[in-house]
Structure 1
Amino acid sequence: MALMDRAEWRHFQGIARRFVVALLFLVTHHLPAHADVGARLQDLLTRDAVQIFGVAYTPEPLREAYAARGYAPVFVDETGPVKRAMELIRVLSESSGDGLVPQDYLGNLPENWMDADPAEIEFALSDAFRRYGRDISGGRTTAAISEPDIVIGRKTFDLGFWLERAAIVGPEAIVAELRPRHQQYDRLRHMLLGYRALAARGGWPVISAGATLKPDMVDPRVAELRANMSARGYNGLNDTPDATVYDAAVARAVSHFQERNGLENDAVVGPQSLAALNMPAEERVNQIVVNMERWRWLAPDLGGRHILVNQANFKLQLVENGKIVDERRVIVGKAFHKSPMFSDKIRYLEFNPTWTVPHSIAGNEMLPKLRRDPGYLERNDYKIYTSWEADAPAMSAHSVNWSNVTSSRFPFKIVQQPGALNALGRVKFMFPNAFDVYLHDTPSRGLFARADRALSHGCIRVQDPIDFAEMLLKADRGIGPAEISAILESKQTTRVDLKTPLAVHLTYFTVWVSDEGVPAFYNDVYERDALVARVFFGSV
């Protein structure tokens, strides 16, 4: 998890400095010409494999782009490197500002690389440019990272297009075009700079282990708590005659910290809050880098009007033209029933829905209840059918010897009828997908008050969903509250199509920066940060 050490950083700074000196020399001296660089480059690119600077390369990723250019170089001429090469070196050297690793792109260049055959320089630099462009625009990792519940296709990087752009405007000018333009990505870049500086200064003091700290307590560890929070930028905590007293100022700071870190907002420093307060600054740096990577996975345009569900902070946002116009709490899947990550479009709403119980829930969760009490189904408005065939007749749960039924051999279909007890509540927001997940209401509305809301089987439960449905349908179809109330009162399952399907993005961000520039760090409830961190930082 270590950041780039000083020796490595000096190495890359040295490459840049040496190139500046060489460029000045090129400007003021005439060097002997090499052989036609285009022909030499073509020769390299038509081989199955080449070795440049002692590194084996496969030319295939570069071949088509350069063939389309007639093998015209971008970063060299017949005499050697040109200005665009210097720009590229500078861009790659500064890639750590985007959470990337300069060594990934510059590590193959020896100290004397500028003295090499210009065609080999062109090849090595263009390959570094290709890998950098792919990483900064689409991610250094693939979105799935071995998780089948993450379905985000990796973006393609059009090397030919971007080489042409680099040839026209230079590598530095196109960095902003390659980099994600999402507001949160830009905020995270600035936050990364600040937290790296904070980590370099030693971060924040550790609070010793001990009893839970509560308001009005007197404890020597309260002084450590004050120092810890002061290092984070909380002001006014040292203006006290007795630093060991847990006073109102400390309570307000702790409460604010808890709120923006997804913790129970009670101003009590128990085990979870203590762990968050003692998280090293270096780990927060890495957490920021991981979340920047996730923004690179997403499409450049999420939609002028879209829904973004952040599973890590249990919230849903309705965004219009870059502005959050609505935000509400959600309940997501448990750690062993993770909500998936993907993008789709809500195509219709269904009021007074039925719920067809999935095989897994019927066999694993309902079967024990039915063995104890077959009347459970009728009391909770379920109907049971002899099979999953469309014309299967309904039956009585009392007619089955449930002790002979197993979870693996459960042939019956169970359907919960519309009503107050229905697990999906009164409305669901549908975007048909392979996971069979969607947004929906719930009869268990008290669960929204909890801080940790990873409680479902994978679907997303939405707080105040009727209000949310009214908001969507009024904008899309001009349907108002009275019409929706009439549909609900009918008790009939009713589908209402959206005229314009609405983009929905099921995401997972454990760092979020507010409009005021304040970062919130959330628990990695699905351990997805750890998977990405292993790629970036090794073992975690």
Structure 2
Amino acid sequence: MRNPNKGLTLDDFSKLSDDRFKLDSRKIRKNIARLIEADGIMLPVDRLIRGYYLSEKPYIWINRLGIQKRADSLLVILENAGTCGVNTKILRVKQLKDDLYRMRTLQIDAESGDINMLMARLEYNLTKSYLRYSSILRFGISNPDYLYNNFEKLENDSVSERYRQLSDLKIERPNAEFIQQALAKALNDSINDFFVTLQPKSKLYRSLLNLLGQQNLKPAYRMKLLCNIERCRWRLTKFPDNEIERRIEANIPSYSVRAIDNGNVLYMRMACGALKHKTPLLASNVMRMDINPQWIVPKSIAKGFIHRPEYMHRMGMFVYDKKEGRLSPEQASYERMMNGEQYIIQSGGPKNSLGRIIFRFDNGFSVFLHDTSSPGVFKRAGRAVSHGCIRVEKPYELALFLMKDEDDELADKLKYSMTVNLFEDNDSIPNKNIDKKKMVRTLYVKPPVPIFITYYTIYYDESGHIVDYQDVYGYDAALEKQLKPFVE
């Protein structure tokens, strides 16, 4: 049989060429630049993606043979992003599916653009979707320090606006190092393993995701879940591990403190800042405990005591003058008080507003955990009543938790110091019968124990069940506005 292809030359094959399917790396680069120029920046990671491609770094998903198989692995993950509450629209899932189909079937037409535009769009959108989703799972969407420190106006005039500082969490944000790590995982075909490592490992986070997966959720409750899932994703620069085995959590909406040690939980009620004196969100380490502390009365409160010497005597208060030292309540001066030259100080003891013990940790708000002289507050349902500090229901038990391995003798001394009557008459005459050998004034926490002041409106109750709480400070509403474009 005669061979019909005998005598074919390269010229014969050139006739089969179709310009519609010619890949040109330079054209792809130019098209990516055009896409970047037309595209907006919704998330911090978008800016980093822009820098990557404008620096002409290697392609991740395409090559001269077409589309890498890793693109299909990524698409499967992106299609299921809704299970984590992320809107697939911002991940451009539909566009990616359509473009992958066109590329695989070579349906190049006016709608899709030429092949170099199609390849540019796939490369850019795959990277953008991959890094957006990775970033959301690893860092969350919002920055709480920016959000809450622009929440409540402190002062408003014709020149500037000032806001009350309500957060000092200092969370991690996506950076060039994270981008390099993520793209290295993609190039090594380790996408699935990478996504496993991104999400928080906390029990609360897993519980919230399980609740999110339930059918027929009311829109308002679903949004509340998404707000709290977002909070779980905030990773603190000071404490990257969001599930430290030994820690204290003071959660504002639940009005509760949980002291946790390897899964064992000491639970107690708390009272926190009133709406006008919101307790700030922060993370620190409890460094020491002061027993029978003095209270330096804030100016906003002290000015109401200046002309009430009888009350000040009864409550064990005195005046401290920077020039003259300790003075009697009758010598209080409004002018010197307002100028910071005098202070009203309340002596330590059972009538002290700080109670018998205070738990100190570094922070820029002068906020601490402490006992209270008014334990009846813990019987209230709403306990946002303080000037910012947190009053705890079980101060002695919390102190024992922080002491951990200290001996029983020291625990007995602590109990004695917290219950002995320091004064005989109106908190002014010292009790001469105090056993000074049993008295302790300061205990240092070694090693320091992390403390987190948090704001979860879906959180644990006393029995460890997940419960829905009131949005005490209105933070959910503010967070919801930032999340809406990104969640579903």
Flag the structure with larger Rg: 2
| Aligned equivalent of 1:75 | 61
Shift in CA distance, 529/84, structure 1 to aligned 2, threshold 3 Å: same
| Aligned equivalent of 2:397 | 467
Contact 1:424/1:440, CA 8 A, preserved across alignment: yes
Deviation, structure 1 residue 509: 0.6
Note the aligned Cα RMSD (angstroms): 3.3
Shift in CA distance, 53/76, structure 1 to aligned 2, threshold 3 Å: farther
| Aligned equivalent of 1:353 | 293
Distance in 1, Cα, partners of 2:462 & 2:354: 34
Match of 2:24 among 35, 40, 64: 35
Contact 2:319/2:332, CA 8 A, preserved across alignment: no
Distance in 1, Cα, partners of 2:340 & 2:252: 32
Q: How does 1:494-533 map to 2 (within 5 A)?
A: 494-512=441-459, 519-533=466-480
Shift in CA distance, 140/60, structure 1 to aligned 2, threshold 3 Å: closer
Distance in 2, Cα, partners of 1:41 & 1:105: 21
Shift in CA distance, 445/62, structure 1 to aligned 2, threshold 3 Å: same
Residue identity matched to 2:241: D
| Aligned equivalent of 1:164 | 184
| Aligned equivalent of 2:266 | 326
Deviation, structure 1 residue 413: 0.5
| Aligned equivalent of 1:241 | none
Match of 1:376 among 311, 319, 323: 311
Task: Kindly indicate whether residue 220 of structure 2 is the aligned counterpart of residue 283 of structure 1.
Answer: yes
Contact 1:441/1:461, CA 8 A, preserved across alignment: yes
Deviation, structure 1 residue 518: 5.4
Match of 1:399 among 331, 337, 350: 331
Contact 2:316/2:346, CA 8 A, preserved across alignment: yes
- Structure 1 segments unaligned to the other structure (5+ residues): 1-30, 200-280
Shift in CA distance, 155/474, structure 1 to aligned 2, threshold 3 Å: closer
Shift in CA distance, 298/464, structure 1 to aligned 2, threshold 3 Å: same
Contact 1:308/1:316, CA 8 A, preserved across alignment: yes
Q: How does 1:529-540 map to 2 (within 5 A)?
A: 529-537=476-484
| Aligned equivalent of 2:127 | 126
Distance in 1, Cα, partners of 2:90 & 2:370: 44
Q: Deviations over 1:487-532 (max 9, x none)?
A: 4444977221122010111001111267999541101011011110
| Aligned equivalent of 2:49 | 62
SS at 1:319 equivalent: strand
Residue identity matched to 2:167: I
Distance in 2, Cα, partners of 1:448 & 1:166: 53
TM-score, length of structure 2 as denominator length: 0.75
Shift in CA distance, 486/520, structure 1 to aligned 2, threshold 3 Å: closer
Distance in 2, Cα, partners of 1:370 & 1:457: 19
SS at 1:452 equivalent: coil
TM-score, length of structure 1 as denominator length: 0.68
Contact 1:311/1:508, CA 8 A, preserved across alignment: yes
| Aligned equivalent of 1:232 | none
Contact 1:53/1:108, CA 8 A, preserved across alignment: no
SS at 2:82 equivalent: helix
| Aligned equivalent of 2:14 | none
Q: Deviations over 1:270-322 (max 9, x none)?
A: xxxxxxxxxxx22111111111011111445132211111111011112223x
| Aligned equivalent of 1:155 | 172
| Aligned equivalent of 1:274 | none
Shift in CA distance, 52/474, structure 1 to aligned 2, threshold 3 Å: closer
SS at 1:376 equivalent: helix
- Structure 2 segments unaligned to the other structure (5+ residues): 1-19, 104-114, 152-164, 421-435
Q: How does 1:172-251 map to 2 (within 5 A)?
A: 172-194=192-214, 197-199=215-217
Match of 2:74 among 88, 102, 109: 88
Q: Deviations over 1:237-290 (max 9, x none)?
A: xxxxxxxxxxxxxxxxxxxxxxxxxxxxxxxxxxxxxxxxxxxx2211111111
Residue identity matched to 2:325: P
Q: Deviations over 1:339-392 (max 9, x none)?
A: 1111111111111111111223223xxx2x433x32221110111123xx3x64
Contact 2:96/2:122, CA 8 A, preserved across alignment: no
Distance in 2, Cα, partners of 1:153 & 1:125: 30
Distance in 2, Cα, partners of 1:80 & 1:340: 53
Residue identity matched to 1:51: L
Deviation, structure 1 residue 453: 1.4
Contact 1:437/1:460, CA 8 A, preserved across alignment: yes
Distance in 2, Cα, partners of 1:310 & 1:480: 30
| Aligned equivalent of 1:339 | 279
Distance in 2, Cα, partners of 1:339 & 1:86: 47
Distance in 2, Cα, partners of 1:513 & 1:484: 30
Task: Kindly indicate whether residue 253 of structure 2 is the aligned counterpart of residue 312 of structure 1.
Answer: yes
SS at 2:415 equivalent: helix
Q: Deviations over 1:400-444 (max 9, x none)?
A: 575xx5995564201111111111111111102101111111111
Residue identity matched to 2:49: L
Residue identity matched to 1:341: L
Shift in CA distance, 35/533, structure 1 to aligned 2, threshold 3 Å: same
Task: Kindly indicate whether residue 91 of structure 2 is the aligned counterpart of residue 105 of structure 1.
Answer: yes
Contact 1:476/1:498, CA 8 A, preserved across alignment: no
Distance in 2, Cα, partners of 1:442 & 1:514: 22
Residue identity matched to 2:229: M
Distance in 2, Cα, partners of 1:511 & 1:96: 20
Residue identity matched to 1:455: V
Residue identity matched to 1:313: S
Distance in 1, Cα, partners of 2:274 & 2:99: 53
Shift in CA distance, 107/53, structure 1 to aligned 2, threshold 3 Å: farther
Distance in 2, Cα, partners of 1:494 & 1:459: 21
Distance in 2, Cα, partners of 1:175 & 1:110: 19
Residue identity matched to 1:419: G
Shift in CA distance, 65/502, structure 1 to aligned 2, threshold 3 Å: farther
Contact 1:374/1:397, CA 8 A, preserved across alignment: yes
Distance in 2, Cα, partners of 1:401 & 1:348: 34
Residue identity matched to 2:35: Q
Residue identity matched to 1:338: K
Deviation, structure 1 residue 463: 1.0
SS at 1:428 equivalent: strand
| Aligned equivalent of 2:15 | none
Deviation, structure 1 residue 535: 1.6
Contact 1:41/1:71, CA 8 A, preserved across alignment: no
Q: Deviations over 1:22-75 (max 9, x none)?
A: xxxxxxxxx966234xx7777788xxx64259535798513776799x933322
Residue identity matched to 1:435: F
